[in-house]
Chains A and B, each alone.
Chain A
Amino acid sequence: MGGLFNYWFVIVLMMLGFYIVMVSPNLVKKIMGLNIFQTSAFLLYISVGKISGGTAPILTDTTMPYSNPLPHVLILTAIVVGVATTALGLALVVRIHSSFGSINEDELLDDEDTYRDFEDPLDPALEEPTDR
């Protein structure tokens, strides 16, 4: 079934998701990128389980080979765990919005209010706050 074709597409999708996570300033879109990354990893596993000319692993009278059911089981678990982590990430986004009034990473990093309650000993800006 076309050699390594599927794996190349997995890498393209994975890298596009990775790019969104790194570049996008919006926290919701970052989580979306993380989801794309995750889903392309699922595609990698499912591609491994495919057998050419095979059929879905449900026992019937067919003479066709069954595709490997084990990656399917793994990914079924991973999808459900994935939505749990997505929900947790989105809850964090909502919490950040209610505390700091923004879900834009650039605004959050530039905003002095973000650091008001947290005294980071490594942040030089906090040592002399009146200079700025």
Chain B
Amino acid sequence: MEFFVNAFLLALLAATTIAIVRMRRLIATTMLFGIFSLLMAAVFVVLDAVDVAFTEASVGAGISTILMLATLAICGAKQESVPRKQLPAIIVVVVTGAVLLWGVSGLPDVGDPTAPATTHVYKRYVEESGTEIGVPNIVTSVLASYRGYDTLGEVAVIFTAGLGIICLIGAGTGQQRRRRNGNDSGDDV
């Protein structure tokens, strides 16, 4: 049963992605991207990653989609022009995909309890974190306690990205900047 739900959701994901590739209207593409993220969140639930699922649903389907819609609104773009040079891209994609398929064929099966990923440190976290940290959610205890520095680094990345965005577009939109340039004879920072 689990397998069929998983397969069905993955098939829907593939169909959505093909629709994104073929769709030229940018608003529709953005909506399809939101659907893609939401379907991906559903797949994560089937694969037992509930924390990842709700982050993906809020961040991927929510914030990313809103940011893209805002960008499209600012830039006033409605339609994507017809792409050029498709054939080289198709060749590159097929070759890369074939190499990846070959590489993936050496991995253990999905869900295999004897896979290396579940036979090393996995046991330690599952058995000890309940008494060591006292939080029932293992993901939370690893994220906030065992790998707290990792999360601190993540905060630094977000801060840097925020600074970058302020440097890029913080001083108002393009129209405002041009208007100011016109008044101040190009004395822009």
| Interface set of A (CB-CB < 8 Å, partner B) | 1-20, 22-26, 28-29, 31-32, 35-36, 39, 42-43, 46-60, 65-73, 75-77, 79-88, 90-95, 97-99, 103-104, 106-107
Contact = CB atoms under 8 A, between A and B. Distances in A.
Q: Give the size range of B's interface with the partner.
A: 35 or more
Nearest to B135: A59
A69 B125 contact: yes
Interface string B77-89: 1001101111001
B93 A28 contact: no
Chain A contact residues, majority secondary structure? helix
A72 B81 contact: no
Contact of B161 (A32, A56, A84, A103): A84
B21 A20 contact: yes
28 contacts: A6-B10, A9-B10, A13-B17, A15-B100, A16-B14, A20-B20, A22-B92, A23-B83, A49-B118, A50-B47, A50-B48, A51-B48, A54-B48, A56-B50, A60-B136, A67-B49, A68-B117, A68-B122, A77-B150, A79-B59, A80-B55, A82-B59, A83-B67, A86-B64, A87-B67, A90-B68, A91-B165, A98-B177
